[in-house]
Structure 1
Amino acid sequence: MDLFSDYNSPYLFAISLVLFIGLAEVISLICGNFLSGAIDAHIDHGDFFSTGHVGQFFHYLNIGKIPALVVLCLIAGFVGLFGLFFQHLCVQYLQAPLSNWLVTPLCLLLSGFCTHYTGRLLAPWLPRDETSAITEDEYIGCMALITGPGASAQRPCEARLTDKFGQAHYLLVEPEEGKQLKRGDKVLIICRLSATRYLAEINPWPTVL
């Protein structure tokens, strides 16, 4: 297999993107900025990225637990490696490469799964402001502040929870059927609905907490 053949172009580009992001991060640090931190700040406070299916997708990719640029590098790196590997197998055993219209979607799908699990392994080694000082199961019974535009059943939004160590955690919450949550509400986390979503209710003790 010729590594620089046209059919390998998308995967070489993906690997080059990883190198470019790394170079950009180094340059930003030299200039006194933190590129990934700036991007994370926009994502953390962006309603579009923290609600509905988009928010669940971002949480699945561990955005909020590890820097967004690290997630992008993982996806691009996996796409590049999977693409080169699959095309190599095809050329070796089928004597011809497959269409990238078939290979690339498969690589993206596999990369999403790999990024999810790799991100969870990397999270303890990549501390950031929202790094967990408590486990996600310990969110239950804690108070959180609704920072998203609002939530209803099956339509979660972002909430910020500050733990006993003073660390901020961002999670997706939704109320029971027929109830609504709005920005600025202080809510009690009742239970975990899925890997990314929690059931919450309006603070039942407003005069106390």
Structure 2
Amino acid sequence: MLEFILSHDNLPYFVCGVVVVMLGVIEMFARLAGASLVFVLDEPEPNLSTAEPSNPITQWLYLDRLPVLLWCVMALSLFALLGFATNLMCYLLRAHTLPQSISVWLVFPLTGLACHWLGSRSWWRYDRMMKDSDVDLSGSVAVMTLGTAKPGVPAEALVKDPDNHRHYVMVEPREGESVFVPGTWVVLLSRRKRVWLATRFEP
């Protein structure tokens, strides 16, 4: 199996897999340091769902609706998995793999279709988070759920409105506050674009 994975015909897919693993390791260390690569890269604006797309290809692939890092990891992972799967199927049926010049051009459109399908299902939560940022939740108590928030580095929090509806919002501590780790209860104070400034909740 190792010989199959490292074969010349599988080189593009092996490289993509290595890149995904490296990004995962870097993200893990970033999380341990209280940051995240996702928030460093450019992301779509909150009102993107009503904006005109820059071009139909990026819209169809959901490249203009998901965080750049998330989309790149998704595309690279799908390309690697589909490439290995294609060559494995060919190897099992014909006892040899497809040359790169053939398999790559076969896997490219399959990856595009997979990105469209998976992107449409990944976007709903991100889109909901962006819409939730427009709800007036000043004074509401939220709990940090994902990532470590510190000044300039927002993280995800869960809050319920007066009607008991759940909202996922991006939160960062106000100036002078300490970091918020997952499980920390905070009070939302004011919204700056799509990010809520918050202070630690003292019951």
TM norm structure 2? 0.52
Distance 2:74 2:132 in 1: 21
Pair 1:70-2:75 in alignment = no
Distance 2:75 2:131 in 1: 21
Residue 97 of structure 1 corresponds to 97
Q: Call closer, same or farther: CA 1:66–1:110 in 2, change over 3 Å.
A: same
Pair 1:38-2:27 in alignment = no
Residue 148 of structure 2 corresponds to none
What is the deviation of 1:131? 5.2
Residue 84 of structure 1 corresponds to 84
Pair 1:10-2:12 in alignment = yes
Distance 1:131 1:70 in 2: 19
Residue 190 of structure 2 corresponds to none
Q: Call closer, same or farther: CA 1:123–1:39 in 2, change over 3 Å.
A: same
Q: Is the Cα–Cα contact under 8 Å of residues 18 and 77 in structure 1 kept in the other structure?
A: yes
- The number of residue pairs the alignment matches comes to 128
Specify the code of the residue in structure 1 equivalent to 2:60. Y
Residue 22 of structure 2 corresponds to 20
TM norm structure 1? 0.51
Unpaired runs of at least 5, structure 2 = 46-51, 135-168, 170-203
CA-to-partner distance for each residue in 1:134-167, whole Å, 9 max, x for gaps? Answer: 9xxxxxxxxxxxxxxxxxxxxxxxxxxxxxxxx9
Specify the code of the residue in structure 2 equivalent to 1:10. P
Specify the code of the residue in structure 2 equivalent to 1:11. Y
Q: Is the Cα–Cα contact under 8 Å of residues 78 and 107 in structure 1 kept in the other structure?
A: no
Q: Call closer, same or farther: CA 1:94–1:66 in 2, change over 3 Å.
A: same
Distance 1:86 1:132 in 2: 41
Could you list the structure 1 runs, at least 4 aligned residues long, displaced by more than 3 angstroms after superposition: 50-53, 125-134
Aligned-pair identity (%): 19
Unpaired runs of at least 5, structure 1 = 45-49, 135-166, 168-209
CA-to-partner distance for each residue in 1:93-140, whole Å, 9 max, x for gaps? Answer: 222221111111221211111111111112233468645889xxxxxx
Distance 1:14 1:77 in 2: 7
Distance 2:92 2:113 in 1: 26
Distance 1:7 1:108 in 2: 15
| Aligned mate of 1:29, from 28, 31, 43 | 31
Residue 124 of structure 1 corresponds to 124
Distance 1:51 1:66 in 2: 13
Specify the code of the residue in structure 2 equivalent to 1:30. L
What is the deviation of 1:71? 1.1
Q: Is the Cα–Cα contact under 8 Å of residues 10 and 84 in structure 2 kept in the other structure?
A: yes
Q: Is the Cα–Cα contact under 8 Å of residues 53 and 64 in structure 2 kept in the other structure?
A: no
